[in-house]
Amino acid sequence: MSESILQFAPWESFVSPTFWHKLAELKLDHDRLSDAQRSISGHYTNRKATGCLLEADYTSFNSSGQPPKFSHAAVGTIYNKNTIEEFKALDKLTLLSDEGKKLLADMCSDRVATDPSLLTRFFVLSFADLKCHSYYYWFAFPCPLTPTLKLQGAGTRLKDLSNSSKYVEALQTLPPDVQNFFILYANDQEDAVEARSLSSLDEKEVEHYYFGFADPSEYEHPAWLMRNYAAFLLQRYPSFIGKSLRFLGLRYNQQMQMDDSLIWNVVQTEACDLNETEDVKFVGWELNKNGKMGPRMVCMRDSMDPAKLAENSVNLNLKLMKWRLVPDLNLEIISQTKCLLFGAGTLGCAVARNLLSWGFKHITLLDNGKVGFSNPVRQNLYTHADAVAGNRMKATTAALRLRDINPSAETVGHVLEIPMPGHTIGESLRAQTEQNLLLIEQQVQAHDVIFLLTDSRESRWLPTLLGAAYEKIVINAALGFDSYLVMRHGSSRDEAGDSGREIVGLKCINGNQLGCYFCNDVTAPGNSLKDRTLDQQCTVTRPGVSNIAASYAVELLVALLQHPQRELAPAYYAQTGRHQSSEDSGKVPEGLLGILPHSVRGMLCNYENILPATQKFAQCIACSAPVLGAFKNEGHAFLFKTFETAKYLEDLTGISEFKRLNSEIIDFDDAEFDISEDDED
């Protein structure tokens, strides 16, 4: 008879996500800093086995776990370390040996005989990085290194035995809970076949025994657990040494037939008393995915980090848009674009929320106000409690709320006053103003997009200037009582983008020739809060106006970001007459999300929008060359001069001269706008 060394199919650990969920929960709520070992259980099935799996899930931590149906229990321990260093530094050989000795002690006592599941042994060394939701782990299946078992002949299928139908019949009488380890007694002379429990073992009857076990291996080799089974039998019954022992690996298919069960005749010729042997060696660490001796790591962020879950769900919504309607939508650009919001009031709150909806991640708010009692109803990031508290600053509160809404957003609020032309700064405030200027400049440089959402004209001057000076995308939204203006400022980037296409009936202005908020003005912003009644000082608007304007502002930005030329994209407007005929406007070239206008002016009183585009003004008090030049050369000194008196700007740009010559073109756009109202009559 041919003899070969019997090999075993090694265990493959198979962990359910629920195992990590439970481990995290126990660590946080119970174990905390304790890294004491913890008893766990695993399970394996011999029904339609795939691989040779030892499975662990949340039930593994139950104190008296019932294995799932058609499965058997394995007995284990988890050593969950507190730090990655402890995890790495732990002596793996010693741990394996300690665990092995516990197994050995069980084998040599009566414990295994009464509960053979103790033979199916495993332990896990782990470290749970709960901040990053990463789990480092290493399974081991300890087994004493005993003399080799020789396989006599090849494994035989149960079906191929002459008496197989009788064996099957006997095996069917075996209750499921003792099928993990059992004895099949088969005495052919006496025609007696009987399935028995392992505890009934009588060593004199060994020649009639099949040592049965539930075999989770799908391979020709028996599962690793048979190694401990054989070691246990040979240790407990030394008379078995040198004898041919028959092992029956019980394997079910999906239909619960056991035809594929295998029988191995094995013999261990060499005697070995594990109790006598000094320093028994143990084996059993699982190889990692690369087939190397080493631990594994799994990142569970996607399913365990609530912030990540929210992020994924938000993206899911946006991806649906990409999948179904706009396949070329670039969501990456959106998530990477950093937005700086000047003003955290009605417009600021609404813009910020719209940004979140689109998947923007980086939002910074600048504002100097406190949340007041009148604010929460319109400013949708604040609550009454914020006002009651009396000291909650809008910028920081808004940043906090944005993170409450989407924890993966990176939001910051800075409380500061925006210096304004014509708002003289007293000596005592000069140092503070210097500091604010530095912070504002630094913030503008650190962001890609600047939103102008303050409630006065002059507070938009500095951000307009800085946006132009640092070549940022600037989106501006301003409100009247029942009207709004939303616009993108012309780019100050000098590079010559492709010129816009000439289209009959349409005038085209290239993106770097478009005007800013101040380009249509022939006065420098002064102190507009001076000499005003209360209703003029507060922003009195129909409430819907701010939400409409905020939505347009964000949509305009997204359309711009998705346009191949971005802020250099040209804007078109109808040349003939004030009304863009639908025929002409139909010709305006579209980007990914439709046309990209320069500005949107709308009225609630007639529910109408018009889309004017205007040129840069060479004497603009915010974005013209003389102003940018003076800022570049003189820096803060220049700014302080403008804060002192707005007249300085008018002189610098030559606009005072201009004003004197021709006052008829004042508010050209507004005049145009007013006419459209008249037309309604």
Partner 1 sequence: MSEMTWKDFLSQAQEFLKISEQLGDGWVLHEKDANEPNTFLKYSHKIKCQESKDSDFTLINVEYHIVYSVSYQVPMLFFQAHRSDGSLLDLEATWRVFMPDTASKDLYQMLTQTEHPVLFRPFMALHPCRTAEVLDQFGQPSANRVLTFISLYGPHVKLQLANAYGLSK
How far apart CA 497 and CA 565 sit, in angstroms, is 7
Does the footprint of partner 1 cover residue 484 (CB under 8 A)?
Answer: no
CA distances from 27 to 75, 151, 248, 674 (A): 21, 46, 41, 68
Residues 6 or more apart in contact with residue 432 via CB below 8 angstroms = none
Does the footprint of partner 1 cover residue 644 (CB under 8 A)?
Answer: no
Q: Taking the complex as a whole, how short is the minimal distance between the CB of residue 291 and partner 1, in angstroms? A: 10
> Using CB under 8 A, which of 131, 204, 324, 530 touches partner 1?
324
Does the footprint of partner 1 cover residue 389 (CB under 8 A)?
Answer: no
CA distances from 456 to 420, 478, 532, 562 (A): 10, 9, 13, 30
**Span interacting with partner 1, options 11-19, 384-392, 401-409, 579-587, rule CB under 8 A:** 11-19
Does the footprint of partner 1 cover residue 424 (CB under 8 A)?
Answer: no
Query: In 173-272, which residue ranges form alpha helices assigned H by DSSP?
Result: 225-236
For partner 1, give the closer residue by CB, 54 or 118. 54
- Marked catalytic residue, from 132, 299, 538, 605: 538
Q: What is the DSSP letter of 46?
A: -
Q: Packing angle between helix 461-469 and helix 625-634, nearest 10 degrees?
A: 80
Q: Taking the complex as a whole, how short is the minimal distance between the CB of residue 17 and partner 1, in angstroms? A: 5
Q: Taking the complex as a whole, how short is the minimal distance between the CB of residue 16 and partner 1, in angstroms? A: 6
Residues 6 or more apart in contact with residue 558 via CB below 8 angstroms = 334, 358, 593
**Span interacting with partner 1, options 12-20, 193-201, 380-388, 525-533, rule CB under 8 A:** 12-20
Q: x/- site string to partner 1, residues 19 to 58, per CB under 8 A?
A: xx-----------------------------xx-x-----
Q: Exposed (0-12), middle (13-18) or buried (19+): which is 51, by Cβ within 10 Å?
A: middle
Q: State yes or no: is 519 an active-site residue.
A: no
How far apart CA 42 and CA 532 sit, in angstroms, is 77
Q: x/- site string to partner 1, residues 288 to 307, per CB under 8 A?
A: --------x-xxx-xx----
Q: Taking the complex as a whole, how short is the minimal distance between the CB of residue 327 and partner 1, in angstroms? A: 7
Does the footprint of partner 1 cover residue 69 (CB under 8 A)?
Answer: yes
Does the footprint of partner 1 cover residue 135 (CB under 8 A)?
Answer: yes
Q: Taking the complex as a whole, how short is the minimal distance between the CB of residue 119 and partner 1, in angstroms? A: 23
- DSSP-assigned letters across all residues of 122-153: EEEEEEEETTTTEEEEEEEEEEE--PPPEEEE
**Span interacting with partner 1, options 35-43, 310-318, 357-365, 459-467, rule CB under 8 A:** 310-318
Does the footprint of partner 1 cover residue 475 (CB under 8 A)?
Answer: no
- Among residue numbers 245 through 264, which ones bind partner 1 (CB under 8 A)? 254, 256
How far apart CA 131 and CA 555 sit, in angstroms, is 35
Closest CA to 10 of 67, 56, 51: 51
For partner 1, give the closer residue by CB, 204 or 324. 324
For partner 1, give the closer residue by CB, 299 or 637. 299
Asked if residues 318 and 358 have their Cβ atoms less than 8 Å apart, the reply is: yes
Q: Taking the complex as a whole, how short is the minimal distance between the CB of residue 649 and partner 1, in angstroms? A: 54
Q: Kindly report the CA angle at 442 between 438 and 445, in degrees rounded to 5? A: 145
Does the footprint of partner 1 cover residue 660 (CB under 8 A)?
Answer: no
**Number of residues assigned to the chain:** 681
Q: Taking the complex as a whole, how short is the minimal distance between the CB of residue 32 and partner 1, in angstroms? A: 23
How far apart CA 414 and CA 397 sit, in angstroms, is 10
Asked if residues 138 and 285 have their Cβ atoms less than 8 Å apart, the reply is: yes
- Residues designated as active site: 538
Positions that interact with partner 1 (CB under 8 A): 12-17, 19-20, 50-51, 53, 69-70, 135, 254, 256, 296, 298-300, 302-303, 309, 312-313, 316, 320, 323-324, 327
